[in-house]
């Protein structure tokens, strides 16, 4: 009886290089930073320029 067909095959991600993992982690950090920056920018502008508009 051949048991090789019932054994799980290694997934593709197990062979992923360390460079690829670091690159993916870096890109996720960049995306999170940009999203936070873009979400906070209007609040900063409102806080900074609203007092100037009232004068």
pLDDT over threshold 60, residue 1: no
Q: What angle do CA 24, 21, 35 make, to 5 degrees?
A: 20
For the chain, what is the domain count? Answer: 1
> Does residue 30 sit within a domain?
yes
- Of the chain, the end-to-end C-alpha distance in Å amounts to 87
Model pLDDT, residue 38: 85
> Does residue 25 sit within a domain?
yes
> Does residue 36 sit within a domain?
yes
Model pLDDT, residue 8: 60
pTM: 0.46
pLDDT in tens, 3-55: 555 666 655 555 668 889 999 999 999 999 998 888 888 888 787 777 766 65
What is the rounded distance in angstroms from the CA atom of residue 5 to the CA atom of residue 22?
Answer: 34
Model pLDDT, residue 45: 78
């Amino acid at each position: 009886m051949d048991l090789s067909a019932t054994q799980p095959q290694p997934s593709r991600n197990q062979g992923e290089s360390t460079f690829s993992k670091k690159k993916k982690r870096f890109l996720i950090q960049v995306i999170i930073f940009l999203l936070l920056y873009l979400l906070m920018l209007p609040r900063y502008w409102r806080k900074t320029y609203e007092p100037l508009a009232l004068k």
